[in-house]
Amino acid sequence: MVAGSAAGLRFTLDLPSRTEPRHFKVRPVAEGEGGATDELISHAPGVTRHRPPATSTAATTLRLGAFDDLRVLRALLDLHLGAPSADCAFVELFVVEPRYRNAGLGTAMFTELARRLKDAGARRIQLEVDHDNPNAARFWKRLGFAETGTGARLQLEKRL
Ligand SMILES: CC(C)(COP(=O)(O)OP(=O)(O)OC[C@H]1O[C@@H](n2cnc3c(N)ncnc32)[C@H](O)[C@@H]1OP(=O)(O)O)[C@@H](O)C(=O)NCCC(=O)NCCS
């Protein structure tokens, strides 16, 4: 059910933050926008992606972007819908452009995404964090994620 919900993952954020511009459109990134995603990732060195441990055959992947008023990509989230199980979504990568961080964009984008995933039938969101990335672990725990395991990486899950 979650895997078929990609069309609803499109929304506008109006942030009461100190950065300008304050309006962001979140939508799936088009195939022809690969240059923008490469550019954003190149400005955030050290960002790692983690794939779901096992993926059901019905899972789909989706790349969501937050675009500012000038249609410049400022945040990127790679998501697996229906992975590792049908009622779950898995965040493979989440990166906010460095100069847009600590202003609420990551929280606002993820919170609205989680709400929409829940409406689409998702019951859990999972992801993994490198042990040398305590800032990311704190960010996710503040958003309601709890540790479900640890090994090469910290495994986190949020129940919806
Ligand atoms: C993790 C990441 C996506 C968070 O995005 P972000 O837009 O900076 O997130 P927010 O601004 O919503 O929250 C970050 C912090 O700023 C604080 N904050 C939010 N709005 C704020 C505001 N208006 N003023 C001051 N601080 C604010 C939050 O409380 C939060 O604090 P915390 O880190 O102690 O929890 C971003 O830091 C990033 O791209 N990191 C590098 C890549 C990475 O590690 N990704 C995760 C891999 S698992």
Q: Domain with 79 in it: what CATH number?
A: 3.40.630.30
Examine the pLDDT at 35 and tell me if it is beyond 90.
no
Q: Which domain holds residue 110?
A: 2-123
DSSP state of 141: H
Per-range mean pLDDT, top range of 3-7, 36-40, 59-63, 88-92: 88-92
Judge whether 140 lies within some domain.
Answer: no
**Ligand 1 probe mutation, 47, 64, 102, most atoms within 8 A of CB:** 102
Q: Is 82 a pocket residue for ligand 1 (Cβ < 6 Å)? A: no
Judge whether 144 lies within some domain.
Answer: no
Examine the pLDDT at 14 and tell me if it is beyond 60.
yes
Judge whether 160 lies within some domain.
Answer: no
Q: Is 103 a pocket residue for ligand 1 (Cβ < 6 Å)? A: yes
The 3-class secondary structure across 49-72, one letter per residue, is CCCCCCCCCCCEEEEEEEECCCCC
Judge whether 150 lies within some domain.
Answer: no
Judge whether 94 lies within some domain.
Answer: yes
Nearest C-alpha to atom 24 of ligand 1 is from which residue?
103
Burial zone of 21 (CB within 10 Å; 0-12 exposed, 13-18 middle, 19+ buried): exposed
The identity of residue 146, as a single letter, is: A
Q: Which helix (H) or strand (E) holds 136?
A: helix 134-142
pLDDT at 1: 53
User: How many distinct structural domains can be found in the chain?
Assistant: 1
pLDDT in tens, 63-93: 999 999 899 999 999 999 998 988 999 999 9
CA dihedral over 3, 44, 41, 152, signed as positive or negative:
negative
pTM of the model: 0.92
